[in-house]
Structure 1
Amino acid sequence: MALLPTLFLSHGAPDIAVADTVAAAFLRRLATVLPAPHAILVASAHFERQGSVGVSADASPETIHDFGNFDPRLFEIRYPAPGDPQLAKAIVDRLVASGFAATAITGRGFDHGTWVPLSLAYPDADIPVVQVSVDPTRDAAYHLALGEALAGLRAEGVLIVGSGSFTHNLQEAFGRLRRGLRVDTTPEWVSQFADWMSDRLVAGDREALADYRARAPFAVENHPTDEHLMPLHVALGAAGRGAKAERLHASSEFGVLSMDAFAFH
């Protein structure tokens, strides 16, 4: 089978699962332009562990509604994709062999960073899904290395997805949400950061990307905390050195949540 790219997807607010937005429309088309995977591995910004990598190992994961004050329809959604305990064990073994502390975890359902984009891209929920955690105490270089440790899975038909947000200032986003401004003008401090990141990704400048917090314009304003950008570094690392970035989508929600998506070939 064709070697799968790795993906970075901005999952946005949870209600993208039921909202009529251009980002939702993009996600609904996504699977049509990709080879069919045997399994999907998601590094989700909403699966956080400190000091070790958690790997979800349930055979039938539950759907976690890890949010509040959104459309009531969201709480009725279930994403019944199977897990894959054998793949989870193989991932733990692969990570440990690469020097990571890693643990298989049961009782860990699909958080919205996983089920929201997958429910749009793979609505049949018939492909096994495993999740790996990000570490909010570790930097971009750590997550690039984490991705590199997972890179060999691509040859086994595993689609590696980093699910986060290209920009993620929730205070600004929620302020606009309360004012009903889902479609709003994108401020310069958001567009400058997004353009810098996109340019560095297309250029393959891993050194600059690993140091984005010091080098990118308005990095702290767009990411007050790191965790929603770390899945991008996992996806980039998993594509292998020299990988080429392809920008698949660019839009914004509330003017300040950039919904950009990338494939790394």
Structure 2
Amino acid sequence: MRQPALFIPHGGGPWPWMRDMRPMWHGLEGYLANLPATLPEPPRAILIVSGHWEAPAFTVTAGEDHPGLLYDYYGFPPSTYDIQWPAPGAPWLAERAEGLLAEAALPTARETQRGFDHGVFVPLAVAWPQADVPVVQLSLHQSLDPALHLAAGHALAPLRNEGVLVLGSGMSFHNLRAYGNPAVTAPAAEFDRWLVDAAGRDGEGRRGLLAHWQQAPYAQVCHPRPEHLLPLMVAAGASEEPGTHDFGEEVLAAAVSGFRFA
């Protein structure tokens, strides 16, 4: 059965392991924990693109064993640098994804040493705590070109018919200096409404809007830099069907959303 393509928020830092942070992300925790039950069947594997990895080409993790974890956050308790989530890699999926991207004339590469960053292991550890689904991570392209990431998602769409869950992990609002500021609540809500409308269009209409997301209201306020929004482009590009607003809550004075593409 065809798997959906999803864009999920990954929250802030290692929040599931932080007693003081976890209540803040209570809604997200419930959404992620219930995520496997919303799929048509258990995924054969997950291809995930995180807002925390940029490379000169679309790069896949191609190691055979558990790739390990990359604790790419700072200033947290020592215990959060000992977190384990030993999901296996999937060399067959890395090769297949690389081939699909190459067929679409997109720049590709493979990486055998890099571990999963926290944009991967944080949300997936909540959704699949047993770490029993093979995972391959895909980088962003360092150009941060939204149209290029929409094209990558389009190229990867056949994976969905092969039992692979295509998943973008980022944040629909990502302005670290504005979190918690009540002045950002209204702008973030307006940008979020624009995103919900754009995601709800069909493939061609959605691509046209998302490729020019900078023209959305308060776009630069919500995303001074676009790396946390680009995983949405990959997920949205992998479907021609109208998307749905799969998750939404307000955290630290800003709207946070997730999307599903059938």
TM over 0.5: yes
Q: Percent identity?
A: 37
How much has 1:238 moved relative to structure 2? 1.1
Instruction: Indicate the residue corresponding to 2:27 in structure 1.
Output: 22
How much has 1:86 moved relative to structure 2? 2.0
Instruction: Indicate the residue corresponding to 1:260 in structure 2.
Output: 257
Letter aligned with residue 224 of structure 1: P
How much has 1:209 moved relative to structure 2? 1.8
CA contact (8 A) 1:144 1:233 kept: yes
Instruction: Indicate the residue corresponding to 2:221 in structure 1.
Output: 221
Letter aligned with residue 257 of structure 2: D
Q: Partners of 2:79 and 2:258 in 1: how far apart?
A: 25
Instruction: Indicate the residue corresponding to 1:55 in structure 2.
Output: 60
1:31 aligns with 2:36: yes
What stretches of structure 2 of length at least 5 have no aligned partner? none
Map 1:78-93; keep pairs closer than 5 Å: 78-93=84-99
- State the secondary structure of the residue aligned to 1:96: helix
CA contact (8 A) 1:61 1:107 kept: yes
Letter aligned with residue 232 of structure 1: L
Instruction: Indicate the residue corresponding to 2:46 in structure 1.
Output: 40
Instruction: Indicate the residue corresponding to 1:4 in structure 2.
Output: 3
- State the secondary structure of the residue aligned to 2:227: coil
Instruction: Indicate the residue corresponding to 1:163 in structure 2.
Output: 169
Give the TM-score normalised by structure 1.
Answer: 0.90
- State the secondary structure of the residue aligned to 1:167: coil
Deviations 1:59-104 (A, max 9, x none): 2201111001235442221110000112211211221111012111
Instruction: Indicate the residue corresponding to 1:100 in structure 2.
Output: 106
Q: Partners of 2:141 and 2:183 in 1: how far apart?
A: 33
What stretches of structure 1 of length at least 5 have no aligned partner? none
Runs of 4+ aligned structure 1 residues displaced above 4 Å come to: none
Instruction: Indicate the residue corresponding to 1:75 in structure 2.
Output: 81
1:141 aligns with 2:143: no
Letter aligned with residue 256 of structure 2: M
Give the alignment partner of residue 113 of structure 1, picking from 115, 119, 125: 119
CA contact (8 A) 1:23 1:259 kept: no
Q: Partners of 2:118 and 2:136 in 1: how far apart?
A: 14
CA contact (8 A) 1:16 1:24 kept: no
